[in-house]
Amino acid sequence: VHYNSARFNKSAAKLHQCPEDIGAEVAFAGRSNAGKSSAINTLTNNGKLARTSKTPGRTQLINFFDLNLEGVRLVDLPGYGYAKVPVEMKVHWQKHLGEYLEKRQCLQGVVLVMDIRHPMKEFDQMMVEWCENSQMPLHVLLTKADKLKKGPAQSTMLKLRKELQAVLGDLVTVQTFSALKKQGVDQLRNRLDHWLLP
Ligand code: GDP
């Protein structure tokens, strides 16, 4: 898959607005500010693809990006936990995201983006639980790894890998990543290839 070829397809506020449920998709999830947009931009080598700036109007939408292969897509799920969002919007968000995760047949795996300095917050635990219940493959991206020294970054990764494998077994993989240093990009691409290629 040529991730550099990613281009915006559409945004969906509701499930019925998503592209037809055929082909193969990988969805990126994460708490707001975890570094999800930066990771997608780095993966696709496209600084504008997932706008790093977040306007309240955009945070609620599911964004679809087409890749060079027919029917193969990247999906940017709404960032979770945006502090200024009112409660009713959070409820809508959960319902909306839950619906996508439960019903989307072409979803091959979830990339869960966490700030390596603050891993496994409540939202992340919820996503892990969801992956366990639905037996969905999960790839954890511990991003902003450049914020830690190599040793602590590595031990955080190994500890989390062990914890998650105890719950999810072979369904889960964990890696460090840095959008700033472009570290871990090949590893991420290999995992996505594994999910997206027939
Ligand atoms: P999102 O809300 O999850 O999409 O997060 P963003 O991609 O917008 O990133 C949130 C903040 O973290 C921004 O200020 C980014 O510049 C910063 N950031 C993202 N990735 C990295 C990284 O790998 N290293 C460092 N040092 N900062 C990062």
Query: Would you give the DSSP letter of residue 109?
Result: E
pLDDT value of residue 53? 40
- Tell me the pLDDT tens digit for each residue of 67-113: 999 999 999 998 887 656 667 766 776 777 888 998 999 999 999 99
Please give the distance, rounded to the nearest whole angstrom, from the Cα atom of residue 64 to the centre of ligand 1: 20
Q: Report the C-alpha gap between 56 and 113 in whole angstroms.
A: 20
pLDDT average, residue stretch 34-49: 92
Please give the distance, rounded to the nearest whole angstrom, from the Cα atom of residue 33 to the centre of ligand 1: 6
By alpha-carbon position, which residue is closest to atom 10 of ligand 1?
33
Give 103 or 59, the one with higher predicted confidence: 103
Q: What is the CATH number of the domain that holds 46?
A: 3.40.50.300
pLDDT value of residue 86? 67
pLDDT average, residue stretch 152-173: 98
- Tell me the pLDDT tens digit for each residue of 5-15: 999 898 888 88
- 188 to 15, 64, 83, 103, 176: CA distances (angstroms): 27, 18, 29, 25, 9
pLDDT-derived band at 59, boundaries 50, 70, 90 = low
Q: Report the C-alpha gap between 172 and 139 in whole angstroms.
A: 6
Quote the domain boundaries for residue 22.
Answer: 3-196
Query: Would you give the DSSP letter of residue 35?
Result: S
By alpha-carbon position, which residue is closest to atom 26 of ligand 1?
144
Q: Which sign does the torsion angle of CA 52, 180, 160, 189 carry?
A: positive
Query: Which of these, 176, 52, 89, 77, lies nearest to 130 by C-alpha position?
Result: 77
Please give the distance, rounded to the nearest whole angstrom, from the Cα atom of residue 195 to the centre of ligand 1: 25
How is residue 121 written in tokens? 């917050």
pLDDT average, residue stretch 34-60: 78
Ligand 1 pocket (Cβ < 6 Å) reads 30, 32-38, 52, 54, 79, 143-144, 146-147, 178-180
pLDDT average, residue stretch 123-144: 94
Give me the number of domains the chain comprises. Answer: 1
Number of other CB atoms surrounding residue 128 within 10 Å: 20
Three-state DSSP class for residue 24: strand
Q: Which sign does the torsion angle of CA 46, 52, 55, 60 carry?
A: positive
Task: Please say if the pLDDT value at position 124 is more than 90.
Answer: yes
By alpha-carbon position, which residue is closest to atom 6 of ligand 1?
35
> Does ipTM surpass 0.95 in this model?
yes
Please give the distance, rounded to the nearest whole angstrom, from the Cα atom of residue 25 to the centre of ligand 1: 23
Give 45 or 95, the one with higher predicted confidence: 45
Q: Report the C-alpha gap between 119 and 144 in whole angstroms.
A: 11
Instruction: Say what the pTM is.
Output: 0.94
